[in-house]
Chain A
Amino acid sequence: MHQVSSAIHESWDDLYNLGSDDLLSRLPNEILVSILSKLPLRDVVVTSKLSWSIPYFLEGKQFLSTPIKYFHWVRQITKKRCYSSSYGRFEDDLLSRLPDEILVSIISKLPLRDAVVTSKLSRRWRYLWCLTDRLVFEARERWSFIDALSNKESSSKYMSWVNHIIHQHKGPTIDKFKICFALDENANDAIDEWIKFAISKNVHMLELDLSGHYCLKNILTNCPVLEHLSIFGSLNLVNPEIHGKGLVLKNLDMSFCAGVNYCGVGKMNAEVLKQLTQKPHQRLEVIEIDGYDDGASDLELAMCFVLNFVALKKLVIKPIMKLRPTVHEISEEKNAARNRARQQLGPIIPAGVEFIVL
């Protein structure tokens, strides 16, 4: 096995040395995939022993059984090529010449876990990641709400991860801050702190994907540079105040933020949005009303948007159904709800605003 592996390694080395240096880099991936898919499976497996391939390629036979899966491996090769084929150009002092600013910018664009790991590269990189401007706390896998609630250990681990990172973060500003985990109500205080932290770092995009019990209250005041706010699954979203001098919110997205009862979906969102409508708003361009119920208050809300949001370009309405229909009635009732929304709002939408009923 070992011999085969080194033989293949050598033949790839030969390829690197073929006539023109960039031959391999000029080949499109499709050709490499096609070559690989013609190799005996065993050879492909063995190549995973090469230093630059990925260990998990060997996990599970089914992963290897289709040619398309070679693609992942090929991508590794092509990535290897991205520096192999140009060794000549890599001036030895290039990296030491580069200012930290560029390295930080690269780190900021890595997934957070990888960004943190760069601290292991060398002394210079030790604390560079602390200046990253993106803190996106993606869980390793998507936990369902029930799973997460029944697994206290994972949620406390997630929380301590977030706390550690926040504690070490040294950058003056944050471009994007995202929390993404199902947390129970015990986490509310922590989440408050996280949001406060993000706001204090002048966050531009704030995303809360909580699928839990978080109750967002009066935290979102005075965030003069927040441009994008997305809240997903905050079950007790009650009257949050999003205001402050010079609010520059351009994009607001709230989904599955139910109140106490089913019908409250639209109303709870309305509470949030109404605060935004108190003054003519210069910048908000896209509004989506999820759970529009064609009642008087929702109509009034829509009117508010149309009159006050001078920059409005797109209004998206997702109507809710009046009744809880049976399976047979669903499509009929959906259409009826859509038609009601169209009839009601169609006449008041100014020209130039895209109007979509989902």
Chain B
Amino acid sequence: MSKKTLTLMSKDKQLFNIEEHLAVQSVTIRNMVKEDGASSVIPLPRVDSETLALVIEYLNRQQAPEEDEDYVKKFVDERGEIPTLLELAQAALDLDIKKLMDAACMKVADLIKDFTLEEVREALRIENDRTPEEEKAIRDEFQWAF
């Protein structure tokens, strides 16, 4: 029996092939396959091609189960850039690949945990949109911080 191949399409319309038995690590794809055989192209409207290539690389890994944890950690370690990690987390969320999503978020947390607030804002491109009153309210609220 030949191995069945699925085709995934990124938001910029690039196509990626992957063997079905590997693709079903994604719960989303597994459910699609169960429902209608997913013979046609599976569109992923929120995942760009660069990120999808990473996800495909991840799904194609050939690791023994006991080495898998280390592999996943190394996989995200090698992509230590916050935007890449966030895109990866988003893709993993859409595809429901919990391990990858957790690892990507873990890596982001690891990166930002020593940052000051300003640095976190800079790193994540967060605009401080709070009014001075809100700032004060939150400062008061933090009185109890241990």
A-side residues, CB < 8 A to B, are 25, 51-52, 54, 75-76, 79-80, 82-83, 85-86, 89-92, 94-95, 97-99, 101-102, 105-111, 113-114, 116-126, 139-140, 157-158, 160-161, 164
- Given A97-B46, A102-B86, verify A109-B109 contact (CB < 8 Å): yes
Interface segment, one of B19-27, B64-72, B126-134: B126-134
What are 16 A-to-B residue pairs whose CB atoms are below 8 Å? A82-B81, A95-B124, A95-B126, A102-B89, A102-B90, A106-B89, A106-B112, A109-B106, A110-B113, A114-B113, A116-B145, A117-B117, A122-B127, A122-B128, A123-B134, A157-B146
B83 and A91 within 8 A (CB): yes
- For B146, what are the chain A residues with a Cβ–Cβ distance below 8 Å? 113, 139-140, 157-158, 160-161
Chain B interface (Cβ within 8 Å of chain A)? 46, 80-84, 86-87, 89-90, 93, 101-102, 105-106, 108-115, 117-130, 134, 138, 144-146
Query: Number of residue pairs across A and B with beta carbons under 8 Å?
Result: 114
Q: Which residue of B lies closest to A78 (CB)?
A: B80
- Of A106, A139, A140, which contacts B109 at CB under 8 A? A106
By a CB distance below 8 angstroms, the chain A residues around B109 are 106-107, 109-110
Known: A97-B90, A121-B120, A160-B144. A90 touches B113 (CB 8 A): no
Whether B113 contacts A94 by the Cβ 8 Å rule is no
Cα–Cα, bound, A20→B87 (Å): 23
Tell me the complex Cα distance, A139–B121, Å.
27
Most B C-beta atoms less than 10 A away, residue of A79, A107, A119, A124: A79
- Which 6 pairs, one residue from A and one from B, show the smallest C-beta to C-beta distance? A161-B146, A109-B109, A105-B105, A86-B81, A90-B83, A83-B123
